[in-house]
Structure 1
Amino acid sequence: MLTYQLIEGAARRQWLDDLLLADEEVGMIERYLMHGQFYTVSDQQQVIGVFHLMALNNQQVELKNIAVRPEWQHRGFGGQMMTQIQTIAIDQGFQSLLVGTGDGSLAAIGCYLRQGFRFEQIRKNFFDQYQTPIYENGIRLKDMVVLAKIL
């Protein structure tokens, strides 16, 4: 059974390597790290992943980052984390959950669609903000694809 721990303040910085699994630039993570809610996820007291939620308004919350450590991937933990994330959002009164991913992140887009998310918007040229170009599946990321799920 997975356990979830809310991490406050500067203690979040110790999990930067985990956050970098899903967002490759420290400067971009720094923009949201001290805002919102940051959780570690453990299996039998061993941290296997992290996620970060940030309210956009009273009705919408965005999943800014979700990462499962490589040695724990492909075991269903990401899906379990998504279920818990939705429970947290519902318990806090949010009506929809948004998540953004790169336009070349085909596996992530497919995963979110299977979880019941639908396309919401495109944030054009989002990845131009990154100092180093990011490639996934041989595609240079340019736009952020935002998906949303009604809770």
Structure 2
Amino acid sequence: MRVAEVSPHRLPPALLLEADPSASSISTYLLDSFCFAAIEGDNILGACVLQNLIDGVLEINNLAIFPELQCQGLGSLLLQHVIDTAKKRSIRKIELGTGTFGHQLAFYQRFGFRVETLIKDYYIDNYEEPVWEKGIQHKDMLRLSLTL
């Protein structure tokens, strides 16, 4: 298993839809992004899509692992690689948006991400279809950040 920077065009759309269920949302950020992938052989098992926001600040737009491979440490490996690479590139802060509940929130908090703001009705206003997790509809987005 290795983590490497890859072209956004190499990322399987089905993988990106695991973290962001809107193809139109993905299309708004994917081509202006740079990406890292967890790769085994020729297979991409997970990916992290990032954008430069302002000088010294990155945004994680999508971090996804195929469902059958989740909870095996691939997401942690990928996120740690992103954090380490950001530090080497003199990035001072990483930001992201996620739901107000669920395993993703706890995952990012384990790496030291902290809540900065809440955007009410984000998933209602910006997604064509309701976003559900474990029978609960996501409505609001939490903006998290990690100061490096």
- Common fold, TM-score beyond 0.5? yes
The residue that corresponds to 1:79 in the other structure is 76
Given that residues 5 and 41 in structure 1 are in contact (C-alpha distance below 8 angstroms), is that contact kept between their aligned partners in structure 2?
no
Given that residues 7 and 40 in structure 1 are in contact (C-alpha distance below 8 angstroms), is that contact kept between their aligned partners in structure 2?
no
Q: Can you list the C-alpha shifts for 1:68-107, whole angstroms capped at 9, x where unaligned? A: 1122211111111111011222222210111211123x21
Alignment partner of 2:105 out of 92, 99, 109: 109
Alignment partner of 2:141 out of 118, 140, 144: 144
TM-score by length of 1: 0.89
Could you list the runs of 5+ residues in structure 1 that have no partner in the other structure?
Answer: none
The residue that corresponds to 1:6 in the other structure is 6
| Amino acid aligned to 2:58 | V
CA distance in 2, matches of 1:73, 1:142: 24
RMSD, matched Cα: 1.6
CA distance in 1, matches of 2:134, 2:117: 22
The residue that corresponds to 1:33 in the other structure is 30
Alignment partner of 1:95 out of 92, 95, 99: 92
The residue that corresponds to 2:47 in the other structure is 50
| Amino acid aligned to 1:28 | S
| Amino acid aligned to 1:101 | T
CA distance in 1, matches of 2:118, 2:72: 30
CA distance in 2, matches of 1:77, 1:138: 26
CA distance in 1, matches of 2:26, 2:3: 24
Could you list the runs of 5+ residues in structure 2 that have no partner in the other structure?
Answer: none
| Amino acid aligned to 1:7 | S
CA distance in 1, matches of 2:23, 2:35: 16
CA distance in 2, matches of 1:72, 1:45: 16
The residue that corresponds to 1:62 in the other structure is 59
Q: Secondary structure, in 3 states, of the residue corresponding to 2:112? A: coil
TM-score by length of 2: 0.91
1:121 corresponds to 2:117: yes
Given that residues 5 and 34 in structure 2 are in contact (C-alpha distance below 8 angstroms), is that contact kept between their aligned partners in structure 1?
no
The offset of 1:43, in angstroms, is 2.5
Q: Secondary structure, in 3 states, of the residue corresponding to 2:48? A: strand
Q: Can you list the C-alpha shifts for 1:38-94, whole angstroms capped at 9, x where unaligned? A: 232202443211110011101211110000112221111111111101122222221
The residue that corresponds to 2:127 in the other structure is 130
How many residues align? The count is 147
